[in-house]
């Protein structure tokens, strides 16, 4: 997963726009729409995900898409916990089709996804992650846009699981993981692999994920597909996956440094602009302004019950994440091997 924010989106695509494709599949009669049930392969890369698997499996079991039309390829990526054992045990005692797979040669979620794609039989390949919670109608809402043969990528929405501490609540307020950020990227729109579906046939033209890439692979594969002019991307806002936000400063810093590395990698692969560095003097000025103006005002609003306590942290946390993103981008360098594209 990667996030690249732009303060001035330039792409005319917006998540709230209703494209011709949306009108097409929404205006079809009920009989035609209900009969469009392509085989779907759901690919989930997993690294040390043993603790997440029970909740994930429950979400997969609850899917309203016909069970005989879905296979779940859960790919262990050389975990050191009991992920693979759990997958094998679950596959043997489950009313849905689960294929436990392994990718032990390359430590990368994109290599694990490629392993799943190569094993899959579906016409549409859907992606999510082990720490995500697809809602019951996820696939039922994610697949219909593919009834239009010109649609080759569909992105669903990503919302937050209920936050337990101030860091999670801040990320939820900022809608950090929402697809609306990536769908309005000034270079080209793209969807994050936490909630994404791709028509299998396009991989023959675009290739699979870059297996040695460690961040930015979702943008890279969407951009390669769209650059090929073989179809377009559609947004399915009702196809919802919930995601857990980071709950410690260490995890938050790691997340945003990864976003910075992603931007550097995509700059080298696609020539996109680098994000401007946030400078120490800018941080100092904004923190002083926060202390002098924002804290008194927001404190009074919080006391009056008109604002949440987490609002007091908006500025310092935004500065913290911007600084970490700057460091990630500044220190990253794309490995030569990460330029390699894998093929079916």
287 in the same domain as 159: no
Same domain, 145 and 291: no
> Which residues of the chain form beta strands (DSSP E)?
40-46, 70-76, 97-102, 124-127, 132-134, 151-160, 196-199, 232-243
Rounded Cα distance, 174 and 325, in Å? 16
Count of domains forming the chain: 2
Statement to judge: residues 307 and 225 lie in one domain: no
Question: For residue 167, is it within any domain?
Answer: yes
* Coil, helix or strand at residue 17: coil
* Same domain for 112 and 164: yes
Structure tokens at 35: 């009969």
Structural domain contains residue 238: yes
Mapping DSSP to helix (H, G, I), strand (E, B) and coil, where does residue 208 land?
A: coil
CATH no. for residue 141?
3.90.550.10
Which residues are registered as beta bridge partners of 75? 45, 101
Q: Is residue 96 part of a domain?
A: yes
HSE-CB for 179 with a 13 A CA cutoff: 30
Are residues 280 and 225 part of one domain? no
Highest mean pLDDT, choosing among 18-27, 187-196, 304-313: 187-196
Using the predicted structure, report yes or no on whether residue 184 has a pLDDT greater than 50: yes
Would you state the structure tokens that stand for residue 237, as one six-digit string? Answer: 């806002």
Domain end residue (candidates: 184, 212, 245): 245
Does a structural domain hold residue 7?
Answer: no
Tell me what the mean pLDDT of segment 78-99 comes to: 95
Same structural domain, 136 and 194 = yes
Q: Name the pairing type of β-strands 124-127 and 151-160.
A: unpaired
Residue 119, both tokens: 């094993």
Residues 211 and 317 in one domain: no
Q: Is residue 213 part of a domain?
A: yes
State mean pLDDT over 289-312: 84
Nearest to 111 by CA among 48, 171, 22, 45: 45
How open is the CA angle 16-217-148, to the nearest 5 degrees? Answer: 45
More reliable by pLDDT, 323 or 8 = 323
CA distance 222 to 226: 6
Domain that holds residue 106: 20-245
pLDDT at position 30 over 80? no
Q: How far is CA 267 from CA 34, 176, 219, 264, 273, in A?
A: 42, 21, 11, 5, 6
Q: Are 2 and 258 in contact (CB under 8 A)?
A: yes
Which pLDDT score is estimated for 9?
29
Banded pLDDT at 87 (limits 50, 70, 90): very high
Q: Among residues of the chain, what percentage have pLDDT more than 70?
A: 90
One domain, residues 215 and 304: no
Predicted TM-score of the model (pTM): 0.88
**What is the mean predicted confidence (pLDDT) over 86-114?**
96
Residue 1 lies inside a defined structural domain of this protein: no
- Model confidence at 27, pLDDT cuts 50, 70, 90, reads low
Residue 254 within a domain:
no
Return d(Cα 191, Cα 222) in angstroms, integer. Answer: 7
Enumerate the β-bridge partners of residue 157.
240
Whether residues 241 and 274 share a domain: the answer is: no
Alpha-carbon gap, residue 179 to 176, rounded angstroms: 9
Which H or E run includes 222?
Answer: helix 217-227
> What backbone phi and psi angles, to 5 degrees, belong to 198?
-130, 135
Give the pLDDT score at 247: 86
70-79, 236-245, 303-312: range with lowest mean pLDDT: 303-312
Q: And the tokens for 271?
A: 């020539």
Q: Which of 5-9, 41-45, 211-215, 325-329 has the lowest mean pLDDT?
A: 5-9
Average pLDDT of the segment spanning 293-311:
82
Which pLDDT belongs to residue 13? 39
* pLDDT score, position 304: 80
pLDDT in tens, 258-284: 999 999 999 999 999 999 999 999 999
- Is 226 found in the same domain as 102? yes
Q: Which pLDDT value is given to residue 29?
A: 60
Question: Is residue 344 in a domain?
Answer: no
Answer yes or no: do 71 and 211 share one domain. yes
Co-location of 57 and 117 in the same domain: yes
């Amino acid at each position: 997963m990667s996030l690249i924010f732009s303060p001035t989106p330039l792409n005319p695509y917006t998540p709230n726009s209703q494209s011709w494709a949306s009108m097409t599949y929404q205006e079809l009669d009920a009989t035609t729409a209900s009969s469009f049930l392509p085989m779907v392969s759901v690919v989930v890369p997993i690294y040390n995900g043993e603790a997440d698997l029970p909740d994930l499996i429950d979400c997969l079991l609850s899917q309203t898409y016909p069970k005989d039309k879905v296979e779940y390829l859960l790919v262990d990526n050389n975990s050191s916990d009991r992920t693979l054992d759990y997958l094998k045990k679950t596959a043997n005692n489950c009313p849905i089709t689960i294929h436990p797979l392994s990718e032990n040669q390359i430590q990368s979620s994109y290599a694990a996804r490629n392993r799943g794609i190569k094993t899959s039989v579906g016409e549409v390949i859907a992606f999510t992650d082990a720490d995500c919670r697809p809602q019951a109608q996820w696939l039922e809402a994610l697949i219909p846009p593919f009834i239009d043969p010109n649609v080759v990528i569909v992105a669903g929405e990503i919302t937050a699981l209920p936050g337990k501490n101030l860091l999670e609540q801040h990320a939820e307020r900022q809608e950090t993981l929402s697809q609306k950020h990536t769908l309005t990227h000034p270079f080209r729109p793209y969807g994050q692999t936490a909630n994404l579906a791709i028509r299998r046939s396009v991989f023959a033209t675009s290739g699979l994920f870059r297996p040695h890439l460690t961040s930015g692979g979702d943008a890279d594969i969407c951009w390669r597909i769209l650059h090929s002019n073989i179809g377009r991307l559609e947004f399915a806002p009702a196809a919802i996956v919930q995601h857990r936000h980071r709950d410690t400063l260490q995890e938050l810093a790691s997340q945003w440094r990864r976003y910075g590395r992603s931007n550097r990698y995509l700059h080298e692969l696609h020539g996109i602009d680098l994000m401007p560095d946030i400078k120490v003097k800018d941080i100092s000025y904004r923190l002083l302004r926060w202390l002098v103006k924002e804290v008194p005002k927001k404190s009074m609003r919080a006391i009056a019950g008109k604002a949440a306590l987490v609002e007091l942290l908006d500025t310092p946390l935004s500065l913290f994440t911007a600084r970490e993103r700057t460091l990630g981008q500044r220190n990253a360098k794309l490995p030569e091997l990460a330029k390699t594209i894998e093929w079916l």
